[in-house]
Structure 1
Amino acid sequence: MIHIAIVEDERLSAERLKVLVQELSPEYSVVALLDSVESTIQWLKDNSSPDLILLDIQLNDGVGFDLLADDLISCPVIFTTAYDEYAVKAFKYNSIDYLLKPIDRAELENALEKFKKYGERTVSPEVKDQFGQVSRMLSGSYKKRFLVKLGDRFQPFTVEDIAYFVSQNDLTCLVTRSGDKWPMDQSLDQLQELINPLDFFRINRKLIISLPAIKEIHSYFNSRLLLKLDPHADDEVIVSRERVANFKRWMDL
């Protein structure tokens, strides 16, 4: 018997999904219908882990990703979502299986067959590291503006104004599309937590770039990439070898 928990805050959708699961095979047993992050946390504390969770992305009290980012779920997960293609691309980028609402019976059957084939697989630590970012993206909590101070002057910038962030000589700077450079109080590590990863990518220890700033991409020795940016950067812009694969996926969303 395969024990499945369904986390879905729309009651009719939850009941329909339960019926579909039970109709597909008598080996599937729905052991819980949960409607919130809070109730799911409590149920997981009070019960043994199911074999699989069908998890809605957006719940009334939070985002389903939060349960995985906090290591509250140890079994495999199939996400369900009503989000459009833009958000679905984010799920693909993070190698997450999903079903688009309204749930199609054949797609559900295929997803469950895939689970049975790879049943021992759980979400990798690398993917878990990215759940927090995607969760913030879906909740709209990434910064949209920065207020930068230079001397007695304050200057606001939207994220659309920013070409890239660069760290030089222990100083982090915001570089605008027009080439102006403004010092920042935050480090690149701190900025990386504040900006949307669909719009910005950290290519190495010293640079976080926006997509519109990239004008040319060239192969470089030692399996790296050489970028030409606009506005022009002071130093060579190299995508570090360990970031090349993710950079290509980011570019291809």
Structure 2
Amino acid sequence: MKILVPFKDQLLLINISDISCFYTSDKNTFIYLTNGQKYSYSKSLEQIATTLNPDQFNRANKQFIVSRERVKNITIWFDNRLLITLDTKVPERIFISKNKASEFKNWIVKK
């Protein structure tokens, strides 16, 4: 599966497998790729989540949708939250709330 991303005067065709995460901040959404590039994207995380395969992507919190294949480390944080580290540098830490931690752990190991 691929998505079209407007960039300057082009439409870039991006493979879903190249995406580490989708991130939103101040009503702006960005796609972070495994090669370190990021692109602005016009859809909200809610809209994006409905188009993605739930076996491949998970809504980590209000700001991130993460790719299962790009999760490199999971740290148990204070109050039983999880801290997720991806293979790509992102602008802020990705936390999974203690309420979603069990669901996330089940998702990350299922194939």
How far off is 1:234 after superposition? 1.3
Match of 2:59 in 1: 202
Aligned length: 110
Q: Which residue of 1 aligns with 2:49?
A: 192
Letter in 2 for 1:155: L
Match in the other structure for 2:88: 231
CA offset digits 1:164-223 (Å, max 9, x no partner): 100022111111111111111110001110000000011100000001211111100111
Q: What's the CA shift string for 1:206-248, capped at 9, x where partnerless?
A: 0000012111111001110011111111111111222111101
- What SS does the aligned partner of 2:79 have? coil
Deviation string, structure 1 residues 38-94 (Cα, Å, up to 9, x no partner): xxxxxxxxxxxxxxxxxxxxxxxxxxxxxxxxxxxxxxxxxxxxxxxxxxxxxxxxx
1:162 aligns with 2:28: no
Q: Within 2, Cα distance between the matches of 1:152 and 1:233?
A: 26
2:3 corresponds to 1:150? no
Structure 1 consecutive aligned stretches of length 4 or more whose deviation exceeds 2 Å: none
| TM-score, normalisation: structure 1 | 0.42
Of 233, 236, 240, the residue aligned with 2:97 is 240
Identity of aligned residues (%): 28
Q: What secondary structure does 1:156 align onto?
A: strand
Give distance in 2, aligned partners of 1:162 and 1:238.
19
Larger strand percent: 2
Give me the TM-score of the superposition, normalised by structure 2: 0.94
Cα contact 2:56–2:69 (8 A) shared by 1: no
CA distance in 2, matches of 1:185, 1:146: 12
Residue aligned with 1:178, SS: coil
Structure 1 unaligned residues grouped into runs of 5+: 1-143
Counterpart Cα distance in 1 of 2:99 and 2:40 = 28
* Partner amino acid, structure 2, of 1:197: P
Partners of 1:212 and 1:232 in 2: CA distance: 15
SS, match of residue 245 in structure 1: helix
Q: How many Å separate the matches in 2 of 1:205 and 1:240? A: 10
Partners in 2 of 1:166 and 1:244 — Cα distance?
19
Per-residue deviation at 1:151? 2.3
RMSD in angstroms over aligned alpha carbons? 1.0
Higher RCO by CA contacts (8 Å cutoff, separation 6 or greater): 2
Q: Does 1:251 align with 2:108?
A: yes
